[in-house]
Amino acid sequence: MSESHPNPLLRFGTVPAFNDITVAHVGPAVSEVIDGCESAVAEIERLAPTLTASELAHRLEPVDDRLGWVWTLVNHLNSVKTSDELRSAIEESQPKVVAFTTRVAQSVALFKAYRRCADASDFADESAPVKRIVTQHLRAAEHAGVGLEGEAKEAFNTRRQRLAQLSLQFGNHTLDATKAFELVLTDAQEVDGLPASARGLAAQNAAANGSPDATPEAGPWRVTLDYPSYVPFMKYSTRRDLREKLYRAFVTRASSGDFDNGPIVEEILALRQAQAKALGFDSYAALSIDSKMAPTVGRVQALLDDLHGASKSAAEREHGALEEFAASKGGPDKLQPWDVAFWARSLREARFDYSDEQLKPYFSLPNVLKGLFDVSRRLFGIRVERNPDVAGWHDDVRFYDVFDDSDGQRVAGFFLDPFSRPANKRGGAWMNECVVRSVALATQGATFRVPVAYLVCNQSPPVGNTPSLMTFNEVNTLFHEFGHGLQHMLTKVDIASVAGINGVEWDAVELPSQFMENWATHRPTLLSFARHYETGEPLPSEFIDKILAAKTFRAGSGFLRQLYFAQLDLALHRDFAEGGDSVSDIKGRVIASHTVVAPIAEDRFLCAFGHLFAGGYAAGYYSYKWAEVLSADAFGAFEDAGLDDDNAVAETGRRFRDTVLALGGSVEPMEVFVRFRGREPSTDALLRHNGLS
């Protein structure tokens, strides 16, 4: 299997040949790569009693890498360019992948070999990456059921297959349900309040879906549940009845009919609890956190409780002020969930005298990218350049090379897919691996294999001849995902399984991404990219003052919202039990303590909560807050050094690159943080940055 392989999914090494890949390649590629990996694993098992820890790690590296390349690539395409045919191919191949990965994880020969190495007197002499690989393999094997036998093992593996199937179905249902809803408006009164950009996007959506003559001025206008369409409508529409209709559709997505995820949620929770109990854990939450940076469920709960204490009263005060403001402007005395975004936007504009729409012309995607790349160069000594010769999976996609300033060497690359495409691309934003750094898997003559990342967003697309003009939230999102990409791309670890984000505990992996968000509100950085897309004029300084002043606007409410998600996730995976606490029981308790405006009775947002049921955040959504403590404290190091001192910022940035970004999963995250910060993390910076001290 090589770059010349007739199946493009099996051309390992550089970047995928997207123009050559078809659905017909999926099944044969998965079968062939698993056959090859099976043979390789069997040989490693035969030799296992004689291999050192380093030899085991290096022999297994190509096995993990090749299957990971194929399966990640196939699922990536399902996320950004799905089709019924591709879904069917994945559903057909998935059982083979799950069976093989389970078989390797449960290999007694490999487990015994790694245990022997870990217990050997010379284990301390192994390199840090190898020691981490051994530790993580042993724990992963235990979590995969290596100690189970007979019927218990068979039942465990059956549940594992079913969980993979349900997760795939959940994601497909969510995308299908989101696509299935549309609100077509034909009367100008129905789009009252919407800014020109939102009307333009709604008309563009209508033109692409059966109304080719649609215009921003005359309509018709098509509003969907996709974020670039949904969020502006909820913020700006003066039609309370339409906001309610759209809101109800949004929070009941995938909760009825052919796309009903309700039964899937309950089955997933039950199966996860059964898996945990089979392994001797009290709950799935305990199993999940056993492999996290947080030491126990109790420590996670303590963090959530501490942050809840700092945010609940603030959120209540903020909501009282919002209701008072709405009433003074002729709004309802009691705000409903579909009112909050509208009146919060109105209050912010009144208090700080600016709107998102005023800012958007200053945040064109080309300018924001330039600012992002410039600050990354100042901090980390890298140069990013567009490479038009590398094709992506869609015309929207562009490819970039990353060079090290110190020697001009190309050290990484990444694909960027920035725009929303609700017809076949799932919502949200994420980073994923395309190629992982490795010395052993480098092409002939190369020192190491250059890592490549996928960076995917769902921001507002260009409208007509106008470039993508971004909301400030979309700017933050782009900085966030690039932070993930930096950890993947700037790793110095030479073994793929602990390079970049690999091997990083889930609750620490958000550190670089949330850290990068701080630079979007750093005045010199803002000044470097906030320029009008037509005139080139910089964003007036008074607007920057207002943006910075508004950073803590409704911070308590934002905090409490994230804590609601984190607490609900933790409680579901700790307390759910068939015949005991139901999903609605648990949700009701969390709502009572973690919301100021309670969700409507029909709310079924869990049916579209892909982080928990189609992603990797099960009993781990708290990771956003756990890592936010780390990232805020990390940015505090730059504040301590002096944000106005360019040399101090550059020096601190290089230290961040040499620790947090370079070490990846080869060192425990607390040690990585201490190497950078000089001490263990504190919540002080997070609360201070959010005005909640």
Q: Give DSSP secondary structure letters for 410-434.
A: EEEEEEEEEE--TTTS-SS-EEEEE
Rounded to 5°, the CA angle 613-614-619 comes to: 45
Q: Is 481 a catalytic residue?
A: yes
Residue 161 has pLDDT above 70, yes or no: yes
Same domain, residue pair 297 and 332: yes
Does residue 171 belong to any structural domain of this protein? no
> DSSP letters along 22-69, please?
-GGGHHHHHHHHHHHHHHHHHHHHHHGGG--HHHHHHHHHHHHHHHHH
Same domain, residue pair 14 and 141: yes
- Tell me if 477 sits within 8 A of 457, measured CB to CB: yes
Same domain, residue pair 52 and 99: yes
Q: Percent of the chain beyond pLDDT 90?
A: 93
| CATH at 334 | 1.10.1370.10
Q: Which are the contacts of 584, defined by CB distance < 8 A and separation ≥ 6?
A: none
Region 444-471: mean pLDDT is 93
Does residue 425 belong to any structural domain of this protein? no
- Number of structural domains (the chain) is 3
Residue 244 has pLDDT above 60, yes or no: yes
Q: Convert the pLDDT of each residue in 270-308 to its tens digit.
A: 999 999 999 999 999 999 999 999 999 999 999 999 999
Same domain, residue pair 68 and 195: no
Q: Tell me the two tokens of residue 669.
A: 């995250």
Region 509-525: mean pLDDT is 95
d(CA 338, CA 335): 8
Annotated catalytic residue, options 323, 481, 628, 668: 481
- Tell me if 659 sits within 8 A of 515, measured CB to CB: no
Angle of helix 26-47 versus helix 84-105 axis, rounded to 10: 10
Residue 256, number of CB atoms within 10 A of its CB: 13
Region 333-347: mean pLDDT is 97
d(CA 306, CA 316): 17
| CATH at 106 | 1.20.1050.40
Residue 4 has pLDDT above 80, yes or no: no
β-sheet bridge partners, residue 222: 184
Does residue 242 belong to any structural domain of this protein? yes
Same domain, residue pair 133 and 17: yes
Strand duo 452-459 + 410-419: pairing: parallel
Region 163-169: mean pLDDT is 97
Residue 3 has pLDDT above 70, yes or no: no
Check residue 464 and give its pLDDT. 87
Please tell me the least confidently modeled range out of 77-81, 264-268, 528-532, 544-548: 544-548
Q: Check whether the bond before 220 is cis (ω within 30° of 0).
A: yes
Mean pLDDT of the chain: 95
Strand duo 430-435 + 382-386: pairing: unpaired
E strand or H helix at 301, and its extent?
A: helix 297-328
Same domain, residue pair 113 and 218: no
Does residue 525 belong to any structural domain of this protein? no
Residue 351, number of CB atoms within 10 A of its CB: 14
Check residue 180 and give its pLDDT. 95
E strand or H helix at 614, and its extent?
A: none
d(CA 114, CA 126): 13
Range of the domain at 133: 8-147
- Where is the domain boundary, 97, 129, 147? 147
d(CA 485, CA 429): 12
Same domain, residue pair 133 and 190: no
Chain centroid to Cα 98, Å, comes to: 23
Same domain, residue pair 190 and 92: no
Backbone angles phi, psi at 618, to 5 degrees: -60, 125
Q: Percent of the chain beyond pLDDT 70?
A: 100
- Tell me if 458 sits within 8 A of 419, measured CB to CB: yes
Does residue 642 belong to any structural domain of this protein? no
- Tell me if 631 sits within 8 A of 672, measured CB to CB: no
d(CA 269, CA 664): 31
Check residue 580 and give its pLDDT. 82
Check residue 2 and give its pLDDT. 55
Same domain, residue pair 68 and 132: yes
Q: Which are the contacts of 119, defined by CB distance < 8 A and separation ≥ 6?
A: none
Q: Tell me the two tokens of residue 415.
A: 């694909």
Q: Convert the pLDDT of each residue in 527-561 to its tens digit.
A: 999 999 999 999 999 999 999 999 899 999 999 99
Residue 216 has pLDDT above 90, yes or no: yes
Same domain, residue pair 290 and 227: no
Q: Convert the pLDDT of each residue in 299-337 to its tens digit.
A: 999 999 999 999 999 999 999 999 999 999 999 989 999
Region 89-94: mean pLDDT is 97
- Where is the domain boundary, 147, 173, 201? 147
Q: Give the confidence band of 673 by pLDDT, cuts at 50, 70, 90.
A: very high
Does residue 588 belong to any structural domain of this protein? yes
**pTM for this prediction:** 0.93
Does residue 330 belong to any structural domain of this protein? yes
Q: Tell me the two tokens of residue 679.
A: 């001490």
CA atoms in the 13 A half-sphere facing the CB of 612: 26
Strand duo 410-419 + 430-435: pairing: unpaired
Same domain, residue pair 130 and 70: yes
Q: Convert the pLDDT of each residue in 98-122 to its tens digit.
A: 999 999 999 999 999 999 999 999 9
d(CA 45, CA 290): 27
Same domain, residue pair 68 and 104: yes
Check residue 422 and give its pLDDT. 87
- Tell me if 589 sits within 8 A of 571, measured CB to CB: yes
Q: Convert the pLDDT of each residue in 12-67 to its tens digit.
A: 877 999 999 999 999 999 999 999 999 999 999 999 999 999 999 999 999 999 99
Does residue 61 belong to any structural domain of this protein? yes
